[in-house]
Amino acid sequence: MHPRSKPGEKQMKQLCIFADGSNVICRVAKRILATPEMTVFESSTAAETLEMCRRSMPHIIVVSNNLPDMSAPDLIRAIRSIKGAVTPRILLSLVEMDVAAIMRARRAGADSYLLKPFVREQLLGSFRTIEIAA
């Protein structure tokens, strides 16, 4: 049961976009996160991510710091400008700890960050943390 669910309440399926230029990272994330409660979509560019968000805003978006067509802060701002029923939780994903990049992403509207390559426990832990904070 979802932490915010009430007994007997039907749980809505969570949608997630993993936006990363690396197909391997996206596939690993999808394999770890996809469950009957969560559908994970992959995106390799900012343009593709924005199009997906305009069609149906996901609950969680993981944005890589190295997308080929737009900076992560610009993508985060663009996502935040799309008005809809869902306000997504946005995580920045980085290859190494970069406080300046994290701060730029947070100012743009990111909720948190995670480091890659990630392991199953780390990724699931990050998702549990943002669900509890929501």
Nearest Cα residue to 53 out of 16, 27, 20: 16
Summarize pLDDT for 52-111 with one digit per residue, the tens.
999 999 999 999 999 999 999 999 999 999 998 899 999 999 999 999 999 999 999 999
Predicted confidence (pLDDT) at residue 114 exceeds the cutoff of 60? yes
**Helices 99-108 and 72-80, interaxial angle, to 10°?**
20
Predicted confidence (pLDDT) at residue 7 exceeds the cutoff of 50? no
Q: In whole numbers, what is the pLDDT of the chain averaged over residues?
A: 87
pLDDT-derived band at 117, boundaries 50, 70, 90? confident
